[in-house]
Amino acid sequence: MLFDKETYTARRDRLKRKVKEGLILLFGNNDAPSNYPANVYKYRQDSSFLYFYGQHREGLVGVIDIDNHKEYLIGNDIDIEDIVWFGAVDSVADLAAQSGVEHSAPMSRLEELVTQARTQGRKIHFLPPYRHDQMIQLMDLTGIHPSRQREEASLELIMAVIDQRAVKTPAEIEEIERACAIGHEMHTTAMRLCRPGVSEQYIAGTISGIASAKGCMTSFPTILSMHGEIMHGYPSPRPLEDGRLMLCDAGAETNENYCSDNTRTTPINGRFTSRQRDIYSIVEACHDHVLDIARPGVKWWDVHMSVARLMTERLKELGLMKGDTEEAVRNGAHAMFFPHGLGHMMGMDVHDMEGLGQRYVGFDDEVQPSTQFGTNCLRCGRRLQEGWVMTDEPGIYFIPALIDEWKSKGIHKDFINFDLLETYKDFGGIRIEDDILITASGCRMLGHERIPYHMDDVEEFMAQRTN
Amino acid sequence: MLFDKETYTARRDRLKRKVKEGLILLFGNNDAPSNYPANVYKYRQDSSFLYFYGQHREGLVGVIDIDNHKEYLIGNDIDIEDIVWFGAVDSVADLAAQSGVEHSAPMSRLEELVTQARTQGRKIHFLPPYRHDQMIQLMDLTGIHPSRQREEASLELIMAVIDQRAVKTPAEIEEIERACAIGHEMHTTAMRLCRPGVSEQYIAGTISGIASAKGCMTSFPTILSMHGEIMHGYPSPRPLEDGRLMLCDAGAETNENYCSDNTRTTPINGRFTSRQRDIYSIVEACHDHVLDIARPGVKWWDVHMSVARLMTERLKELGLMKGDTEEAVRNGAHAMFFPHGLGHMMGMDVHDMEGLGQRYVGFDDEVQPSTQFGTNCLRCGRRLQEGWVMTDEPGIYFIPALIDEWKSKGIHKDFINFDLLETYKDFGGIRIEDDILITASGCRMLGHERIPYHMDDVEEFMAQRTN
């Protein structure tokens, strides 16, 4: 457990006060089968369950009966045959005591507790499930079909969880720093290995081995590709090619579920071409612009739009865009180059709390999500708060399928110079991403050691690397 | 695709002939969410789907309408927003053509096909699902609750799939050899890194990085522990200790899903103690005994029991067991030391086809599963056939919780010397595992390069390793 039981008890007390009444169910994750029931992926506890209980064991459910002031940790103990296979483990009663929960009970008790509360007409609060085994369990408990569970999840519970998890304490930031330190080793190793002839898969696999060797995992499947223009470009067996760029978007997740998430775009032969410098310098300026303007009270929506305007200005200087900057951005023309959001909240999930609903995590009555292409991928818009961790990840991409589609339909033809754009179809894409903490007066980059990203620093690193 | 479309067509034709009538549904796997819907584990196609279609794309279902001589590959094509995120991919119609399937259709067609067949009173054949998303899909299609789907799965289809997948062709053996070559690199790296002070997690993570760096994955979560007596002892952050043994059970899985599975037990300081030699030499003899007696027509049950008798004989020489060997083994007393089966079928799943039901994969009318402790973990008993791949994995363990339990209850006290056994409680466990191919006249170990396992070879390897 990362914290003491008083911390977990205090978190649950605050949750109870916010939700006010009813029965709260917090499902821990079970093992996830890969290719048959007993062959499972690396265990990954649900972040909200871990936040409120600190326990990593599979097969647990937390029950908080607000109305009757009772708390239960539900789970089945193991028997001697299990001990032969998995070793001796703490009893569920022991786990409950560690987490400051008064009662423990076997799984069979869960149905009784839920049935009783339903009979009494009390509200059953649950978070939107994303694991299908939990959907089946929830269906059996409540009669709600999996396809309706997301809409029937408790908004009170969702908002109460977001309220707490969004703001990170100094101790949580320390754990994120641990993830960033592993991420630093992953990214600098990728840059050291980057050269013509080495395969994307080899580098991506090697850096995921760095996280594994520390007993951790990557915070998401590593994106590593010469085709940076494919947002989720998974590593291929292709060898890296001289003159192209390698985009690597990767992060680590500690065993306490805290994440890092960085992207670097590295010239495969160690030196940027002049055309690559033109585009890279824009992304670099956008990345650093965020550091200047992000602070508590500022809408992340406005930070995103400010970056979009800066990018449009600079693309106009290169002749790739044209027309009025404000109008181009309002119409979404910049999304040809920057079709995703500037960044997302990060914490115990790399897209923090995304499973609870981006609508609730990143938006509010003041700032609503957009439906415009590109801006619809912005995962957060509302006013920044001290203690939030955000990613700062602008990028510029040249996506042949999108160029062809917009050109053929004449989309945003007043703002985009399609003739020049045609000549960039072999370019790929550039993204620079770091994790920033919103402080009292502004923000700061996380990670005690900086992964090189300024062009000169990147070229110097590549020239001086030893292996 | 590993094979040409004629191979996949021939496999499906054979399946149709064996199942005879009805509508066959073969579900491909979907992405498996880790901590929110969009953050997924490394994709792993279902082995039976891959065997009959050769396709790795998520979101596909194969439908074989035997009665109407029609085949469909069902799946949804992607749109431009998907292309931005995931790149351009083949259409489902293209995939169908690659696999030799005449028709393709979007997912909405699946319900029509199933409903039509059900209305006509025709049998819907499906395999027992192990992914919960498929259970929900199957429930919606057929009305069968997930808890009853395993028992309502089609025995005709299960038996027809086992019939084909059990016997490996030379081309499949080649692919298993590729997995074994990666496994060789993983295990020899683990042995090279093994020394006092290095953590279990570091070594386990590093060798899983070897599989990742080849674009592959491990065939199951690596077991690596000083506590070899815990069958599934996952690696801990503990440093390895001088004088103890490191048990490493690990394998690779190629991108075509073919597996390797080996275990080595290595003295952490490079030299076996005299007591370790006593026990290791028994396991070594049991391992090699299998190579002498496994051949087509022999029951794997008999091979297991022959190993159990040899082990009992040798443990009697050490004074750990006593009494009549035949009687001890018939009563299951050897399971104190050897509480698992001798080996399992291996192929596109590391426990091949375990999800279809061990009862059908490993047993038949002639040889039935046992309920006796230890022997109930034997995953196969029936007569070996040429072309089968089996693991040969005897082990001897000293499990404190089991020793205490049997001693206090007087279980098998006529066959076990509990006083001497008490002194072994700090020993741990030893297992040696290799993959064997049943040939026309006997068997042979797979893996072109041998991972050292004879005691002298292990000590020589450890003395001569360079890093």
pLDDT, tens digit (0-9, with 9 covering 90-100), for A162-207? 999 999 999 999 999 999 999 999 999 999 999 999 999 999 999 9
Instruction: Inspect the interface and report whether the beta carbons of B41 and A32 lie closer than 8 Å.
Output: yes
Chain A residues in contact with B405 (beta carbon < 8 A): 80
C-alpha to C-alpha distances, A366 to A159, A332, A383, nearest whole angstrom: 16, 21, 9
The tokens for B203 are 């070594």
pLDDT interval class at A233 (50, 70, 90): confident
Chain A residues in contact with B213 (beta carbon < 8 A): 201-203, 205-206, 209
The tokens for B265 are 């037990």
Please give the biggest Cα pair distance in chain A.
Answer: 74
More confident residue, A88 or A197: A197
Instruction: Inspect the interface and report whether the beta carbons of A401 and B84 lie closer than 8 Å.
Output: yes
Instruction: Inspect the interface and report whether the beta carbons of A212 and B204 lie closer than 8 Å.
Output: yes
Q: What is the DSSP string of B143-158?
A: ---HHHHHHHS-HHHH
Contacts of B383 by beta carbon, 8 Å cutoff, 6+ apart: B296, B297, B298, B299, B300, B366, B367
What are the beta bridge partners of residue B438?
Answer: B443
What CA–CA distance (Å, rounded) separates A183 from A451?
9
Find the length of chain B: 467
Q: What is the mean pLDDT of residues B18-30?
A: 98
* Residue A64 and residue A16 in contact, taking contact as beta carbons nearer than 8 Å: yes
**Residue A405: closest C-alpha in chain B:** B80
Angle B147-B149-B150 from CA coordinates, rounded to 5°: 95
Instruction: Inspect the interface and report whether the beta carbons of A87 and B230 lie closer than 8 Å.
Output: yes
Q: For residues B37, B131, B76 and B89, what is the CA-based torsion angle, rounded to 10 degrees?
A: 80
* Closest by Cα among A438, A432, A425 to A455: A432
Summarize pLDDT for A374-393 with one digit per residue, the tens. 999 999 999 999 999 999 99
pLDDT interval class at B441 (50, 70, 90): very high
* Residue A392 and residue A436 in contact, taking contact as beta carbons nearer than 8 Å: yes
- Reply yes or no on domain B170-464 having CATH 3.30.9.10: no
Q: What is the DSSP string of A332-359?
A: TGGGGT--S-S--B-SSSSSTTGGG-HH
**Residue A131: closest C-alpha in chain B:** B33
What DSSP state is assigned to residue B444? E
The pLDDT score that the predictor gives to residue A78 is 85
Distance of CA A156 to the CA centre of its chain: 23
What CA–CA distance (Å, rounded) separates B212 from A49?
30
Q: What is the mean pLDDT of residues A322-343?
A: 97
pLDDT interval class at A85 (50, 70, 90): confident
Q: What is the mean pLDDT of residues B12-29?
A: 98
The values of phi and psi at residue A417, to 5°, are: -95, 90
Q: What is the mean pLDDT of residues B299-315?
A: 98
The tokens for B7 are 């191979």
- CB-CB: which of B38, B47, B401 is closest to A354? B38
* Residue A144 and residue A129 in contact, taking contact as beta carbons nearer than 8 Å: no
ipTM of the predicted structure?
0.96
Instruction: Inspect the interface and report whether the beta carbons of B39 and A80 lie closer than 8 Å.
Output: no
* pLDDT exceeds cutoff 80 at B81: no
The tokens for B22 are 């009805």
Q: What is the mean pLDDT of residues A34-39?
A: 97
E strands, B171-278, are 217-218, 223-225, 245-250, 252-253, 262-267
Angle B101-B105-B111 from CA coordinates, rounded to 5°: 115
Please report, rounded to a whole number, the percentage of residues in chain B having pLDDT higher than 90: 96
Q: What is the mean pLDDT of residues B139-163?
A: 98
- CB-CB: which of A209, A232, A405 is closest to B212? A209
E strands, B303-426, are 389-392, 395-397
**Residue A212: closest C-alpha in chain B:** B205
Amino acid in position A219: S
The pLDDT score that the predictor gives to residue B233 is 77
Which is it for strands B23-27 and B61-65: parallel, antiparallel or unpaired?
antiparallel
Amino acid in position A156: E
Summarize pLDDT for A139-172 with one digit per residue, the tens. 999 999 999 999 999 999 999 999 999 999 999 9
CATH class entry, domain A5-165: alpha beta
The pLDDT score that the predictor gives to residue A79 is 82
Summarize pLDDT for A353-364 with one digit per residue, the tens. 999 999 999 999
The pLDDT score that the predictor gives to residue B345 is 98
Q: What is the mean pLDDT of residues B376-405?
A: 96
pLDDT interval class at A81 (50, 70, 90): confident
**Residue B356: closest C-alpha in chain A:** A36
pLDDT interval class at B231 (50, 70, 90): confident
Chain A residues in contact with B349 (beta carbon < 8 A): 35-36, 39
What CA–CA distance (Å, rounded) separates B451 from A374?
53
Please, what's the b/e burial string for A384-399 (b: 16 or more CB within 10 A of its CB; e: otherwise)? bebbbbbbbbbbbbbb
- CB-CB: which of A35, A136, A209 is closest to B135? A136
Q: What is the mean pLDDT of residues B285-312?
A: 98
Please report, for chain B, the start and end positions of each structural domain, with discontinuous segments joined by +: 5-166, 170-464
What CA–CA distance (Å, rounded) separates B240 from B244?
8
The tokens for B46 are 């279902």
- Reply yes or no on domain B5-166 having CATH 3.40.1480.10: no
C-alpha to C-alpha distances, B34 to A47, A234, B200, nearest whole angstrom: 10, 17, 24
The pLDDT score that the predictor gives to residue A467 is 61
The pLDDT score that the predictor gives to residue B245 is 98
Chain A residues in contact with B215 (beta carbon < 8 A): 199, 201, 205, 235, 237
Query: How high is the mean pLDDT of chain B?
Result: 96
Please, what's the b/e burial string for A339-348 (b: 16 or more CB within 10 A of its CB; e: otherwise)? bbbbbbbbbb
Q: What is the mean pLDDT of residues A436-452?
A: 98
Instruction: Inspect the interface and report whether the beta carbons of A44 and B32 lie closer than 8 Å.
Output: no
Q: What is the mean pLDDT of residues A319-332?
A: 98
The pLDDT score that the predictor gives to residue B86 is 81
Instruction: Inspect the interface and report whether the beta carbons of B87 and A233 lie closer than 8 Å.
Output: yes
What CA–CA distance (Å, rounded) separates A171 from A399?
41
Q: For residues B451, B453, B456 and B457, what is the CA-based torsion angle, rounded to 10 degrees?
A: -10
Contacts of A273 by beta carbon, 8 Å cutoff, 6+ apart: A243, A267
Q: Is B230 left (phi over 0), alpha (psi -120 to 50) or beta?
A: beta
Q: What is the mean pLDDT of residues B100-110?
A: 97
Chain B residues in contact with A33 (beta carbon < 8 A): 130-131
**Residue A207: closest C-alpha in chain B:** B209
Instruction: Inspect the interface and report whether the beta carbons of B212 and A233 lie closer than 8 Å.
Output: no
Please, what's the b/e burial string for B306-319 (b: 16 or more CB within 10 A of its CB; e: otherwise)? bbbbbbbebbbeee
* pLDDT exceeds cutoff 90 at B467: no
Amino acid in position A5: K
Q: What is the mean pLDDT of residues B293-316?
A: 98
